[in-house]
Every structure is written in structure tokens, then in C-alpha cells.
Structure 1
């Protein structure tokens, strides 16, 4: 039997957290070896079966830029009928949006940057040029009654610019909200955030008119701070947290990055706090062990390691 933490609720935290699972897209996108489409589809199905209600399926980016996700047109029809599961997809531009809409996507995401340096490195545009590209994409998606998430990378630190001023992040967040994004995900892309910084940014966003209920957080664990930062966000009232099954993925611009916050590690903490996620930890762990086998290496998630060791 899989061990579970003793639930000891802490005051002032959300009763339920929606986990935005990014493993199939963000987790796999930098894998060097091509993962078969059927394996990706089974991964998404297993994640849904474990109780995850939001699973980011793929990205409709040009195959030249992200070869691992070149099969988006083949993958999405295999999973779009999963009952009760939101399947957002990343769209970089109008062409990507066209491809997604043609396949019946009802939730899309755009990927912006809080810094000029990362916008140039990742999007090959200035920050304002990138926002100008997203504006018609968001407007058209909203006109089609499609939910739009705005990812914002480098919210806490940038490998070229260092610490990112809070007011700079607030400016880009408000621009994304003004153009029509329904939800914003605050990304600690190189994992340098600390809890006080997290709460300062969330407070500044509230003061600028961005409500907490449209905000999600996306932490990387480079310096072991992802769970501490998540707890700080929960204490502020955030109830949407991004995570990647088994800790898959990372940032190619940060050599020391250990990857995304592992969904299992997040679920363990949330269950210990008495917060409902709807996720079956045993099934989720089994899914990550299975996926690690497909990739030929063990999962970096501490919870996956601990629970799978207990099962042996």
C-alpha cells in the first residue's frame, strides 16, 4: 500500500488546488530522443486516469523549433475526447492558433517573457514585439470562445539580466491581461525565486488590479525552493499550480536547472496540508515510473523514488 502523509491542515490556505500538469508538453519538449506519439497519448491518458483535470497536451510550434512536438496534429485527436479533462495547447502565433482551432482545441496558451534578453533568445523578438504578435492571437482565440492562458517566463530572475524588478513583471502581466488573457502563469524559469519574493510579486500584481484568482505559479527546483515558493503562493491565495509528472523538463537556458516541480512532490505536500487535488498519488507515481522507463532513466522526483522503493 502506498504511504500517504498525515493530513494536518494549516490556516489560511485554499481548500482545493487545481494542478496544471505540464509533463506532456513542457516536460517532454527538450527530450533529445523522439518519444512515439502513441506513448505520449498513453502518458496523457494515464495522467487523466490518475485524477489530473488539466493536462497540457502539446504545442503547435513550428517543428523546426521543437522537433519533439512535431506530431501535434497526430497526437491531439488521440486524446481530445478524454472526458472531464482540460487539454490546453501552446500556440506561438496565428499559424499555431489556426492549427489548434482546426483540431477543436478549446484552451490555448501563449508564451511571453518578463525580460528583453529572454524574449530575444527564446522568441527572437523584443519584449514589446512579442506582445504585439500575441495580441491578435489572443483576440482571435477569445472571439472563438477559446480560453487563453498567458505564460510569463523569467518572473524572478534571468540568466543574462540577473534579478528581475517586480514592476517589470507587473507591466507585462497587465499587458497580457489587458489583451484578454483569462489566466496568467508566473514562471520561475531558472528556479531562483524565494518565498518573500513570491509574495512581493503577488501583492504588487494585486495592487495593479490583477486578481489572485487568475494567477497560477510555475516553479523550477534549481535551488530546492519550488515547494517553499508554492507554499508562499498558497498562503497568498493562489490555487492553481503548474507541475510536471516525475519532475520532467527544465529550462535549456539554465544549465544547473533541475527541472520542473514534480507533480508527485506537490501532491504529497498538498495532501499533508489537507488540500484537495483529486489526484490519486499511487496511480500518478506508477505513471511516472512507467514514463521514466520509456525515457530510459529514473525520475528525479523524490516522492516517486520514495514510493516506488516502498513498492519493491
Structure 2
């Protein structure tokens, strides 16, 4: 049998993307209510309890992990153990995210009366608005789909993906509503390259001193190349007489200019430099430098002190060496 597996794989992507777009278009005020409900629980020193069965339970673990990583305390309640003591994990003031596509999962429904005895709010995530879960939730978020990506339309695929993305949407909206910053994020990700990028400041990784090539605007292209060679840098910073930033000149600038005029060696650097380069303050996080270089598609960033004077240079090649990417 000649089966085009690539085509079948693409079809799964297409179906799930189509279903996600449908769910996204259906978002309404209930999503805002859910975010505010979760925010109130966290701000009142409560937590978010995530509960689900089967595939929904697996999705629940990911949602809880995402919430925790963004500073919103979350725990997963094992439905099978809940009726044997684990309900004690729920406290007054908490918020519960209950996951069930059908909204009729018996193990979950058995828990609802006991959950409701506690002073908590329930956000039901389900594909069926008129389901038991939907009717007994304080806020209902619908993840209704028209078909699964499974060729038999049976295995949870589109439905579980929609539930996962709904959880991500809640977590990210909650993050923004609470003013969660990169500095906050770094406290929860101290390990690996992500942690290094978040905990490290620009001043820790910038090239300075002899590794920083600086020349005045009156210098020539030949002077710039010599300065870059001495500093082993791909760029040099041009500073005005008062020490402020005048511009930047890179090897890339030289290569492009040389193609147009091979005799540019004696030209003043002020004629060829970039007069308004991208800059960062020395107390910025390295993560911001990574983002800035990617956004502007540049190789170098000039680092300024608190008075706006250039004191360093960030080279994109340093990110890999310092294991920041």
C-alpha cells in the first residue's frame, strides 16, 4: 500500500488549525470573566486547582505547569483520589478549572457537589454548553469542535488541542492582567539557557574596555577597520567629543560600501556610519538583548550608561558562547 504519510500529517495540522480558529472566534465575555475570577483568587493568596480525567487530565497537568511558571500558584487534583481525602487540597478562596470535553465525565461530576460546598469559583472548560459541567460552572469556556483530526473522528485530537490552547490563553491573559514581568519570570526559571538569559544583565555580557572599539566621527574607514581588528570585534562605536553616541559602523557596513566604492578606506566614518543605532541600557536583562536582536535583525547592540554614553557592545555571537540561546 502506497501511503503518503506527509500528506496525512499535514491534514492533521490543517484540521486542528481550523478547529482552533473556530474556537478562537467564539471567545466572548465569559473569557474575560474567567480571567478576572482566576486573578481574584491569586491576588487573595488563593490558588488555582485544575481537575480533569483521562486526556483532559493530561492537559490539566500542562495548564497547571504553565500557570505555575508564570507565578499563578496551581495544583492538579487527582479526581480518583479526591473522594478519599485529596479534596482537602481545595481551600476557601481558590478557583477551580474543571476540564471535560463532554461535560458529563462521571468521576468529575461526582466531585462537583463536594467542590461546591467550598467557597470557590469553578471555570468549566467543555465542548458542550448544555452539559452538566457547563450548567454547574460559574463561568463556562467552550472548546467546541466540528471534528477530531483522527481519521475515525474518535481519538481526542482537535478537542484536546483546543482545551490546551484555551488553558494557555487563560494563563497568558492572567499573566498580563497581573503585570507579570521578565524579572518575575526569571525567579521561576533559574535553570538552563532560559534562566541564564533571564537572570543575566546586559552589563554582564557586553564587550567593554579593550574589547570595545571606539573612534571619533572624524576617523576614516581604515581607522575603523584597525580598531575593530584590535578589539576583535565586528563593529566599532563612534563617539562624539562629549562622549555621547554618534553612531556605529560594522563589518557588514564596510562590505556593502566597499562593493559600491573600493576606495572608501580614506573616507570619514561619519559619512558611512549608522547614526541612530539600536541601543540598550546596561541594566537591561540579557533576555531583552536576545529579543531586540531578533526583532531588528541586527548583529550588534550599543550599550549605554545611565547618562546615555556608550560603554559596551553586545555581539550576537556571544549569545551562543555564553549559552544564552
Q: TM-score, normalised by structure 1?
A: 0.31
For the pair shown, which has the larger CA radius of gyration, 1 or 2?
A: 2
Q: TM-score, normalised by structure 2?
A: 0.30
